[in-house]
Amino acid sequence: MNIENRPTHTTITGISGHTHCAIVPPYLLERLAALDEPGFRRAAAAARHSLVRRTVHSRPAGVREDAASSLTTPRPTTRGELVRAVFDAQSTEELPGTRVRGEGDPATGDAATDEAYDGLGATHALFAAAFDRDSIDDAGLPLEATVHFGEAYDNAFWDGSRMVFGDGDGEVFERFTRSLSVIGHELSHGVVQYSANFVYEGQSGALNESVADVFGALVEQYAAGESADEASWLIGVGLFTDEVEGDAIRSLAEPGSAYDDDVLGADPQPGHMRDYIETVEDNGGVHLNSGIPNKAFHLAATVIGGFAWEQAGRIWYHALTLGTLTATATFAEFAAQTIRSAEALFGADSDERSAVVAAWNGVGVTPDGAEPADDGDGTLPRF
């Protein structure tokens, strides 16, 4: 499958030069920006403004930005301690904004502020409880977020140091703090930044997006106490207004099925390597081709069963943080490491390892050093 190879703006870059990983992909913003309909003029203007703030910019391999250097909140003194702060940009694009809620402060009554505060806590809780990780950098990084960013800003992003949330245009997008999976997704970009640090382009960029989706989904599942079979596996539930025909921005269970709308079009994500999208857009399709490893994780998690963060999540986290993957890792290299991680954690003959092998086979990815196990039709082998 190919998308027209016209240049596009792909990655938000702020005054600081940090690479910003945003939840709404450029192909959605471009579609909205081209609208000329009375009911969506605010959405079209908001999308055009969001695109103006974007420029082609990828962080070089091996470069980590010092998130702590631009934070205003001191680090905690005790390992595992949660320290968070929420700031209000008051519809400007100045960061961080005015501090409105700190750790332990009561709810403010402002929905965006309180949703962001709770989402920061829920994300910290998953990584601490499931993976014994001490915040985003595993060294107690304070969690900061800025809400009410810009006028009708249609996105949320991790800027290398903090979470930033727009309020949406009200016609297509609601406020971006409404979705816990979005908060978990964006903070998980920080986890990637401090571990494998995947370059935000091509397959490594799609892995960056996929890992963020995986842990964003797990944050939501952990907070709700949902098993793999009970979970929706959707990213961004609650972001669309009632005018949109769609459930969410992406689906890990069925990539390409999250929305199908006259205005937004159909969800273009592939879920198998036979449909891999070759494009120069979206930094080489990072939000598109991430559907393939997303589906692999969903297959592994549902075959294993139970709570996805307990087995499948541990395998993906181990692979991400072990230190063996390069910043330009391919799907095949990442797949091979998840299989090795499953073996290290659960044993060479374990059901967990078999499930991971079957999952990658199911999406047509042949792990480095392995032979294909099926004929490429996506059928999961029995084990």
The question of whether 49 is a catalytic residue gets the answer no
* Residue 98 burial (CB count, 10 A): 12
Mean pLDDT of 358-368: 96
User: How large a percentage of the chain has pLDDT more than 90?
Assistant: 81
Higher pLDDT, 368 or 233: 233
Task: Give the residue ranges of DSSP H helices in 322-364.
Answer: 331-346, 351-362
- Alpha-carbon distance of 58 to 259, in angstroms, equals 28
The question of whether 287 is a catalytic residue gets the answer yes
Catalytic residue among 186, 209, 281, 333: 186
φ, ψ for residue 361, nearest 5 deg: -60, -40
This prediction has a pTM of 0.90
The matching CATH number, chosen from 3.10.170.10, 3.30.930.10, 3.30.365.10, 3.40.50.1820, for 11-285 is 3.10.170.10
- Alpha-carbon distance of 283 to 319, in angstroms, equals 24
Q: Which helix (H) or strand (E) holds 22?
A: strand 19-22
The yes-or-no verdict on residue 206 having pLDDT over 50 is yes
Report pLDDT for 369: 75
The yes-or-no verdict on residue 188 having pLDDT over 80 is yes
Catalytic residue among 20, 49, 287, 298: 287
Report pLDDT for 14: 36
Say which amino acid occupies 211. Answer: V
Report the chain's mean pLDDT, rounded to a whole number. 89
Report pLDDT for 52: 78
Report pLDDT for 54: 56
The yes-or-no verdict on residue 12 having pLDDT over 50 is no
The yes-or-no verdict on residue 328 having pLDDT over 60 is yes
Question: What is the maximal distance between C-alpha atoms in the chain?
Answer: 60
Q: What is the pLDDT of residues 27-58, one digit of tens each?
A: 999 999 998 888 899 999 999 988 876 543 33
Higher pLDDT, 38 or 68: 38
Report pLDDT for 67: 56
The yes-or-no verdict on residue 8 having pLDDT over 60 is no
Extents of the domains making up the chain: 11-285
Give just the sign of the alpha carbon dihedral 207, 211, 216, 221.
positive
The yes-or-no verdict on residue 273 having pLDDT over 50 is yes
Say which amino acid occupies 82. Answer: L
Report pLDDT for 383: 28
Q: What is the residue-wise DSSP string for 98-153?
A: EEEEETTPPP-S-HHHHHHHHHHHHHHHHHHHHH---TTTTS---EEEEES-TTT-
Report pLDDT for 263: 87
User: How large a percentage of the chain has pLDDT more than 70?
Assistant: 87
- Alpha-carbon distance of 56 to 78, in angstroms, equals 39
Q: What is the pLDDT of residues 94-132, one digit of tens each?
A: 999 999 999 999 999 999 999 999 999 999 999 999 999
